[in-house]
Structure 1
Amino acid sequence: MTIEILQKSSLTPSIAQQIRSLFNQLNSEISQLIIDKVLVPDNTIVFAVCREGDELIGMAAMATYKVISGHKGMVEDVIVSANHRGKGIGKKLMLKLLEEGKKQQLNEILLFSGHHRLPAITLYKSLGFQLKNSGLYTLKVG
């Protein structure tokens, strides 16, 4: 098993298809962008993947951005294949993102998780994440 940062230069049609399939395990109702459109130079994203041989078994992304309140990261789409859950892969992916966040000297890393995702919440708390007293509002614009 290997955990690595996926670069566009190492993206293959097989990996792109596996990313689509893996994302569908998280939420098949969300329309996905093609990974080629995500891994572009002007999109500041860290995309970690876990592979076992040629099989993609987990992924996690962190978008980074700068605002007046600091240099931040937003964790998105942490997914481990249903066949490989409970093996610590999610933790390894998160640790890879946190390592990259330290390298980039981020001030804060944020994430949102559904209240029903108890194993994910347990993982995030074990890594030091704390529930922030705030509300999340959303507006679909496209």
Structure 2
Amino acid sequence: MKVKLLSPAEVTVELQEQLTTLYQELNAEINQIPLKRILESPDTIEIACCMDNNQLVGIAMMAKYTVISGHKGMIEDVVVSSHHRGKGIGRQLMELLLKRAKKCKLDDVLLFSGHHRKPAINLYKSLGFALKNSGLYVKKMK
């Protein structure tokens, strides 16, 4: 298995189909945006993936942005295939994104996770993430 950053040139129809299937394990209700479209602005996104031969078994994304309070990264859409969980893939994906955050000189890296996702929360805490005393609010625009 190999964990690496995904480049726009590596996105194929087959990889997109694998991603669609993988994300259904995270949330079957997600209306997915195609990878090619996400990677149109490569300076604003880092995508870490884990491939087992030619099969996508894990992925995590970090959006990068700048606001008055600094340069930030937001990690989202972390998912590892149920057949490959417990092998350290999630940790490797996260470590790669955190390494990229350092290289990009980000001030903060944020993420959110459902309270029911105990293994994911334990991973995030072991990587140094702490629960922020604030609320997450969302307004659906579609």
TM-score (norm 2): 0.97
- Structure 2 counterparts to residues 41-80 of structure 1, below 5 A: 41=41, 44-80=44-80
CA distance in 2, matches of 1:111, 1:77: 10
1:78 Cα offset (Å): 0.5
Q: Which runs of 5+ in 2 are unaligned?
A: none
Shift of 1:139: 0.3
Q: Indicate the RMSD between aligned Cα atoms, in angstroms.
A: 1.0
Deviates more, 1:31-40 or 1:77-86: 31-40
Deviations 1:11-67, CA, capped at 9 Å, x for gaps: 111111111111111000111111111111266110010001001100000000000
SS in 2 for 1:119: helix
Aligned to 1:8: 8
Q: List 4+ stretches of structure 1 deviating above 6 A.
A: none
CA–CA separation in structure 2 for the residues paired with 1:31 and 1:41: 20
- Which stretch shows the higher mean deviation, 15-24 or 128-137? 15-24
Percent of aligned pairs sharing the same letter: 52
Where in structure 1 are there 5+ consecutive unaligned residues? Answer: none
Question: What is the distance in 1 between the residues matched to 2:22 and 2:124?
Answer: 20
Which one-letter code corresponds to 2:58 in the other structure? Answer: G
Q: Which residue of 2 aligns with 1:22?
A: 22
Q: Scaled by the length of structure 1, what TM-score is found? A: 0.97
**Paired residue total:** 142
Aligned to 2:117: 117
